């Protein structure tokens, strides 16, 4: 039998500026899920990439006096550099300026046009010439540009529209019948809210005379595609629709489109309708996460409160960065970023709890057993209770992570870690050693080592680098490829094998 498949996507990040912490949040979350699904033996496809068309990109390039594609290439390098630093294990990186994507967009447009779902019409609006932006009547006051405050000109131009209105009732019904289609539930309700009001058809073209940096529309030579319509299609162009039938059928429909809450509407309204109109199956779940705020506000350049992901990574490293973002806040809700909270979390969970458990255990194995893993010895009730906790962890962890409940999954792992720390206090191995209770000492040390060796697997999706480091210190000879949950069925550490205590993995950060 062939393996089950699992397809997860990040949004395509817009390349008008360097990556920020929000981009890295989505990326880390998807990486954690992708790694965990691989551990479960699924054939995983993890797609990420960049959205490279539209006026903002064109203008940002102009502002830096660079050729547009050169400007984009430089930003793409920044994204890739950050993903490398954060240990992101994507399977493909798609750029919307690639031929495979452009061809797919053309094909989808042609299908929808031939079906009569794309039509031409006059578009009336208020235009700001210096900003080169159209404003709908609802968004303006006193005929002034909301961005620059200059007077607007009312103009009309020919454009192409996609019939959202035709599919509104269908989408409403679909969302009602599929409770997992949009998550979390309060976001689903938000989308149901959008659909209570009649939807305007979506303008999907821009006249070439105003915008040249876009994908051609096969049936409209004077127009290019609106950037959102183009970018969403990556989720199918990136997995072979229209070019590689085998791969497409293997991975589509996607299990998760993970997005930020600010882009819920295009993903939960436009995208399903585009797919449905083109006769393509729906993705299983669109999950919108919250924002990282700074002091209660959205991070923005103008407020000067942006957290630089490169600086954070350099200062604290990949493991702490990944751990903090996924542990601190329930996925789906907003979180407040502060370096103070970061350090507190690091010192308590990583230095104190996990780091100490490793360090103390290995120190004792060296001291009492010359660094060799002891055999099971004579287990007490308390040892057995810890063993039961180890056995119960996989199910708890799976339930949480399957629902993208990252912090709950970590709470379950840390519950085990803290129980093991308490077990050291209560069983006092130093007294057992002093009293020559070797069989008991063996039992305590071996259950502690077992706890740590199991933690390696559950920490791995969150902090792959730290997990492999711990594995190395425990003397487990494993790499990324060995990270399979099947391994938990057998013994992970053979009695007699040597541990290999290293430097403290998470030294306390002094403020
Ligand atoms: Zn303006």
Q: Answer yes or no: is pLDDT of 1 > 70.
A: no
Q: Is residue 284 part of a domain?
A: no
pLDDT in tens, 248-279: 999 999 999 999 999 999 999 999 999 999 99
Q: Is residue 366 part of a domain?
A: yes
Which CATH number do you get for residue 415? 1.10.730.10
Q: Cα of 489 to ligand 1 centre, how many Å?
A: 64
Q: Cα of 269 to ligand 1 centre, how many Å?
A: 28
Q: What is the pLDDT of residue 130?
A: 76
pLDDT in tens, 326-382: 999 999 999 999 999 999 999 999 999 999 999 999 999 999 999 999 999 899 999
Q: What is the pLDDT of residue 195?
A: 96
87-115 b/e with 16+ CB inside 10 Å = b? bbbbeebbbbbbebbbebbbbbbebbbee
Q: Is residue 254 part of a domain?
A: no
Q: Cα of 16 to ligand 1 centre, how many Å?
A: 19
pLDDT in tens, 294-326: 877 788 777 778 889 999 999 999 999 999 999
Q: Is residue 213 part of a domain?
A: no
What 3-state DSSP class applies to 121?
Answer: strand
For residues 395-413, average pLDDT = 98
Angle, helices 406-427 vs 309-328, to 10°: value is: 80
What 3-state DSSP class applies to 127?
Answer: strand
Domain of residue 393, residue span: 338-489
Task: Give the pLDDT band of residue 55 (cuts 50, 70, 90).
Answer: confident
Q: How many CA atoms lie within 13 A of 231 on its CB side?
A: 20
335's CB contacts (< 8 A; 6+ apart) are 290, 291, 292, 293, 328, 329
Q: Cα of 294 to ligand 1 centre, how many Å?
A: 28
Q: Cα of 100 to ligand 1 centre, how many Å?
A: 35
Neighbours of ion ligand 1 (CB under 5 A): 128, 131, 145, 147-148
For residues 204-214, average pLDDT = 91
163's CB contacts (< 8 A; 6+ apart) are 117, 118, 119, 201, 277
Task: Give the pLDDT band of residue 511 (cuts 50, 70, 90).
Answer: confident
Q: What is the pLDDT of residue 488?
A: 96
Lowest mean pLDDT among 27-36, 52-61, 283-292, 490-499: 52-61
Q: Cα of 154 to ligand 1 centre, how many Å?
A: 13
pLDDT in tens, 422-438: 999 999 999 999 999 99
The verdict on pTM exceeding 0.85 is yes
Structural domain tally of the chain? Answer: 1
Q: Is residue 152 part of a domain?
A: no
pLDDT in tens, 141-199: 888 998 888 999 888 889 999 999 999 999 999 999 999 999 999 999 999 999 999 99
Q: What is the pLDDT of residue 2?
A: 59
Task: Give the pLDDT band of residue 134 (cuts 50, 70, 90).
Answer: confident
Q: Cα of 134 to ligand 1 centre, how many Å?
A: 9
Q: Is residue 153 part of a domain?
A: no
Task: Give the pLDDT band of residue 480 (cuts 50, 70, 90).
Answer: very high
Q: Cα of 290 to ligand 1 centre, how many Å?
A: 30
Q: Is residue 459 part of a domain?
A: yes
For residues 4-14, average pLDDT = 97
**CA 331/CA 338 separation, integer angstroms:** 17
Q: Is residue 96 part of a domain?
A: no
**CA 147/CA 132 separation, integer angstroms:** 11
Q: What is the pLDDT of residue 360?
A: 98
Q: What is the pLDDT of residue 124?
A: 83
For residues 1-12, average pLDDT = 88
Q: Cα of 216 to ligand 1 centre, how many Å?
A: 26
Q: Cα of 42 to ligand 1 centre, how many Å?
A: 50
**CA 357/CA 221 separation, integer angstroms:** 66
Q: What is the pLDDT of residue 275?
A: 98
Average pLDDT, the chain: 95
Percent of the chain with pLDDT over 70: 99
281-296 b/e with 16+ CB inside 10 Å = b? ebbebbbbbbbbebee
Q: Cα of 137 to ligand 1 centre, how many Å?
A: 14
Q: Cα of 147 to ligand 1 centre, how many Å?
A: 5
Q: What is the pLDDT of residue 135?
A: 83
Q: Count the neighbouring beta carbons within 10 Å of the beta carbon of residue 49.
A: 24
Question: Is the separation of the CB atoms in 265 and 193 below 8 Å?
Answer: no
């Amino acid at each position: 039998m062939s393996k089950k498949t699992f397809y997860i996507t990040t949004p395509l990040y817009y390349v008008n500026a360097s990556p920020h912490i929000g981009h890295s949040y989505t990326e880390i979350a998807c990486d954690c899920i992708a790694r965990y699904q691989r551990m479960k033996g699924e054939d995983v496809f993890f797609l990420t990439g960049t959205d490279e068309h539209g006026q903002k990109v064109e203008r940002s390039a102009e502002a830096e006096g660079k050729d547009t594609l050169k400007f984009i290439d430089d930003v793409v390098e920044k994204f890739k550099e950050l993903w490398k630093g954060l240990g992101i294990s994507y399977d493909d990186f798609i750029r919307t300026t690639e031929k495979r994507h452009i061809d797919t967009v053309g094909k989808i447009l042609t299908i929808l046009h031939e079906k009569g779902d794309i039509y031409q019409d006059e578009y009336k609006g208020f235009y700001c010439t210096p900003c080169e932006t159209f404003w709908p009547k609802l968004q303006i006051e006193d005929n002034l540009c909301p961005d620059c405050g200059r007077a607007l000109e009312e103009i009309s131009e020919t454009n192409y529209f996609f019939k959202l209105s035709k599919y509104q009732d269908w989408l409403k019904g679909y969302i009602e019948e599929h409770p997992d289609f949009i998550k979390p539930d309060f976001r689903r309700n938000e989308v149901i809210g959008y659909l209570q009001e009649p939807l305007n058809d979506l303008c999907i073209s821009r006249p070439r005379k105003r915008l040249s940096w876009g994908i051609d529309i096969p049936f409209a030579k004077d127009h290019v595609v609106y950037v959102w319509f183009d970018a969403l299609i990556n989720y199918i162009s990136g997995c072979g629709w229209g070019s590689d039938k085998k791969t497409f059928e293997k991975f589509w429909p996607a299990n998760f489109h993970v997005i930020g809450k600010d882009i819920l509407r295009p993903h939960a309204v436009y995208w399903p309708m585009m797919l449905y109109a083109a006769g393509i199956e729906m993705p299983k779940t669109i999950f919108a996460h919250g924002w990282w705020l700074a002091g209660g506000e959205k991070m923005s350049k103008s407020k000067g409160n942006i957290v630089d992901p490169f600086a954070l990574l350099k200062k604290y490293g990949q493991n702490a960065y990944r751990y903090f973002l996924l542990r601190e806040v329930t996925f789906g809700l907003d979180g407040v970023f502060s370096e103070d909270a970061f350090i507190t979390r690091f010192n308590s969970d990583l230095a104190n709890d996990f780091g100490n458990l490793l360090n103390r255990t290995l120190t004792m194995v060296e001291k009492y057993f010359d660094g060799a893993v002891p055999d099971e010895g004579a287990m007490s009730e308390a040892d057995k209770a810890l063993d039961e906790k180890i056995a119960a962890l996989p199910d708890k962890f799976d339930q949480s992570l399957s629902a993208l409940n990252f912090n709950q999954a970590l709470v379950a792992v840390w519950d085990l870690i803290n129980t093991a720390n308490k077990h050291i206090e209560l069983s006092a191995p130093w007294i057992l050693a002093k009293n020559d209770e070797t069989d008991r000492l063996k039992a305590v040390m071996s259950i502690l080592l077992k706890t740590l060796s199991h933690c390696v697997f559950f920490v791995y999706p969150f902090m792959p680098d730290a997990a492999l480091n711990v594995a190395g210190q425990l003397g487990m000879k494993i790499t990324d490829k060995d990270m399979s949950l099947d391994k938990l069925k057998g013994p992970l550490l053979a009695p007699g094998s040597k541990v290999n205590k290293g430097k403290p993995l998470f030294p306390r950060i002094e403020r």
